[in-house]
Amino acid sequence: MWEPSLTAKEEGGLALSDEIIVSRDDWSLHRKGYLDQTRHKEKVDEIIKQQLGDLIVDESIILSDGKKNTKIPMRSLEEFRFRFDYNKRNHTGQGTKKMVPGEILGREQGNGKGGSGSGAGEAPGQDIYEAEVSYEDLANILFEELRLPNLDDKKRPLIAHDRPVFNDVRKKGLMANVDKKRTLLESIKRQAFAKKGKDSKLRITPEDLRFKTWETRPNFETNAVILAMMDTSGSMGQFEKYISRTFFFWMVRFLRLKYENVEIRFLAHHTEAKEVTEEEFFTRGESGGTRCSSVYQYALDLVEKDYPPAHFNIYPVHFTDGDNIGSDNAKAMSLMKQLVEISQIVGYGEILRTHYSSTLMSTLKRISDPKLRLVTIRDRNEVYDALKTVFS
């Protein structure tokens, strides 16, 4: 039906073949774009990782309890090259009407040529997208960095206790364990088979009933408790509270990955210790001196009362400015030693904005047990390092 035209024939050199092929292949194997896109994403993540110290202390995440995302102006990776300064050159544009010199096209942003959709930057093709870094993204990247070395395996079987596991459905059972969904389904099925009129009411007969049944199984549930201790003496201000809050925020979430149940108890102290609510813990300040031994004693008592070390993984963390009453140091150290013995990891953090080294820190340094992790935080972005030191 198709005759090659004369012109085409004359073009012998070019038109090697008059055959025109339209084909369709299976392109599903071409995943390359996705692979390289993944690599790009990885590299962006690397950059997030470099900024992690700043990102994890972001108020919008901590104060919203991880429900809100934090927005950071995130560039996709830039492809550097020698290029002209966009702001220093003349551009040519096209108007819908005659444009006269002096007419204003726009301010700084929205300079038109920058490319639609990618947002407006200072220069063309600058790919800034306001990336929402979600709590999950941050958590994934952060937790990749953290380790839990003293997960005491031998403890697991010990805390086994029987627990019912509902894993079967039967036709007979206790009415309290009736499986409503399955019962209803049975009823619908039965009536559908019976081909009754559609308007007939759904009725549950005894043969529809289904019951959940259980087996008892030994349960290797793992429990962890965080004993959050904080110095609430006069010298601990908003900054120190925020630092500790950030630390505990991530700590709780990290431990939840590893243990089925993670509890947190809040112990505040100045010269005396007491248990407080979370809100009080992070907001209330009191005056007076500091006696750290008081809270260590309180923690030990609490463990003895509620958290037998045989059943619980214990994580005491203490934040203070380290300004402990000198005469208390010896006592604090001996109590700390006991605490270290029964715990998986003990964190001791001094939040210092001035540069003196406290006596309590130097005292505690004498405890050589690797389970005791000592950190000093001077700036908000050091929370990240503190987390890495404690969980490494």
Partner 1 sequence: MDNEQRSLSTIAQDIAQVARSLGLKFCPVNFEIVPAEALYTFGAYGMPVRFTHWSFGKAFYRMKLQYDLNLSRIYELVINTNPAYAFLLEGNRLIQNKLVIGHVYAHVDFFNNNRYFLRTPKDMVERMGAHAEKIREYEVQFGRDRVEKTLDAVLAIQEHVDYRSHISPNTLKNETKSRNKCPQGEGQKKLGKKKSSPYDDLWWDLQDNSTESSTLQEVEDLLLYLLRFAPGLEEWQRDVISIVREESLYFYPQIETKIINEGWATFWHARIMHELDLSDAESLDFALMHSQVVQPSRLGLNPYYLGVKIWEYLASVKPLDYLWDLRETENDLSFIRNHLTRELVEELHLFNFRKVGAHWQVTENEWQKVRDNLVQQLVNGGNPRIIVLEGDYEGKGGLSLKHRHEGVDLDIVYLEKTLALVQFLWGKPVVLETVVDHKNVLYECSNGLVSRRQATKILDKEGFRE
Q: Is residue 12 a contact residue for partner 1 (CB under 8 A)?
A: no
Q: Which of 12, 65, 88, 172: binder of partner 1 (CB under 8 A)?
A: 88
Q: Would you say 375 and 344 are in contact if contact means Cβ atoms under 8 Å apart? A: no
Q: Look at residue 86 and give its three-state secondary structure.
A: helix
Dihedral of alpha carbons 324, 325, 326, 327, sign: negative
Closest to 321 (Cα-Cα) out of 352, 288, 284: 352
Instruction: Say whether residue 77 binds partner 1 (CB under 8 A).
Output: yes
- Mask for 102-141, x = binds partner 1 (CB under 8 A): xxxxxxx--xxx--xxx----x---x--------------
Q: Is 238 in the site for partner 1 (CB under 8 A)?
A: no
DSSP state of 344: S
Task: Return the residue matching tokens 């992690």.
Answer: 52
Indicate the DSSP class of residue 328: G
Strands 312-320 and 273-276: unpaired
d(CA 390, CA 374): 8
Q: Is 24 in the site for partner 1 (CB under 8 A)?
A: yes
Q: What minimum distance in Å lies between the beta carbon of 48 and partner 1?
A: 15
Work out how close the CB of 146 gets to partner 1 at its nearest, in angstroms, rounded to a whole number.
24
41 vs 161 by CB, closer to partner 1: 41
Nearest CA to 271 out of 313, 346, 324, 228 is that of: 324
- Residue placing its CB nearer to partner 1 in the complex, 93 or 157: 93
Please tell me the distance from the alpha carbon of residue 372 to that of residue 333, in angstroms, as a whole number: 12
- Burial label for 328, CB within 10 Å (0-12, 13-18, 19+), is buried
Q: Is 47 in the site for partner 1 (CB under 8 A)?
A: no
**Smallest gap from residue 119 Cβ to partner 1 (A):** 12
Minimum CB distance to partner 1, residue 50 (Å): 16
Q: For partner 1, which stretch binds (CB under 8 A), given 38-46, 257-265, 301-309, 330-338?
A: 38-46
Interaction between residue 43 and partner 1 (CB under 8 A): yes
Nearest approach in angstroms of CB 12 to partner 1 is 11
Closest contact distance (angstroms) between CB of 317 and partner 1 is 37
Contact between 35 and partner 1 by CB under 8 A: the answer reads yes
